[in-house]
């Protein structure tokens, strides 16, 4: 397994590979996202056109099996920034952690921790960053679609120094697997002061 951090534009030539990995992993619970290559290309452009964005990759025998993204919060789209601004956070002082995804057969080997540490390092290297944050979809723990044995990542995030931002949330629409149209989904924010993770 090879894990490395890249300037996001350096991976522009692998855009479709990145898109395919996002589509594959996000079909799983809890997102159940029925993605399209067209949407993914647009989404990834936020990172691939930004020299301040970073993408951490995990490759096995030259095959991309996981990615983790981050960029200055001020560079994120308004839908991610606005809830934080409304809560009194200064985007110029923040770093946003996007997805952190890994194919199932490679989980449980410490790669998630490597992803998180690499993004924290990118935030520190950027300079002037006081906090990092990300958001995760809110799901009812009693949802009958929840796979048996599924374990949420809350415990891992807390071990890495993150905690929920009480009352801070965003709403995004996407089409779930098997649905005919997009529906709204609440996303809860988690955050940590950079100094807490040192």
Sorted by sequence, the CB contacts under 8 Å of residue 95 that are 6+ apart come out as 70, 71, 72, 73, 119, 122, 123, 126, 129, 131, 132, 133, 194
- State the CATH number of the domain containing residue 48: 3.40.630.30
How crowded is the C-beta side of 174, counted as CA atoms within 13 Å?
A: 21
pLDDT along the chain (198 residues), means of 10: 97 95 96 93 94 97 96 94 96 96 95 96 94 96 93 94 95 95 97 77
pLDDT number for residue 197:
54
Beta bridge partners of 184: 173
pLDDT number for residue 71:
97
The boundaries of the domain holding residue 87 are 2-197
pLDDT number for residue 195:
73
Number of domains in the chain: 1
């Amino acid at each position: 397994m090879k894990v490395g951090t890249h300037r996001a534009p350096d991976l522009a030539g692998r855009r479709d590979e990145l898109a395919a990995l996002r589509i594959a992993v996000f079909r799983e619970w809890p997102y159940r996202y029925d993605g399209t290559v067209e949407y993914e290309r647009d989404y990834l452009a936020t990172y691939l056109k930004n020299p301040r964005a970073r993408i951490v990759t995990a490759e096995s025998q030259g095959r991309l099996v996981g990615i983790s993204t981050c960029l200055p919060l001020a560079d994120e789209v308004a839908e991610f920034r606005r809830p934080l601004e409304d809560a009194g956070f200064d985007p110029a002082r923040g770093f946003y952690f996007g997805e952190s995804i890994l194919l199932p057969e490679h989980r449980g080997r410490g790669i998630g921790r490597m992803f998180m540490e690499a993004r924290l390092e990118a935030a520190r290297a950027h300079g002037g960053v006081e906090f990092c944050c990300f958001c995760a979809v809110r799901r009812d723990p009693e949802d009958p679609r929840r796979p048996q044995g599924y374990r949420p990542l809350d415990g891992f995030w807390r071990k890495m120094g993150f905690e929920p931002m009480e009352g801070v949330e965003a709403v995004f629409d996407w089409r779930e697997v098997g649905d005919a149209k997009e529906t709204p989904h609440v996303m809860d924010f988690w955050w940590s002061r950079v100094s807490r993770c040192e």
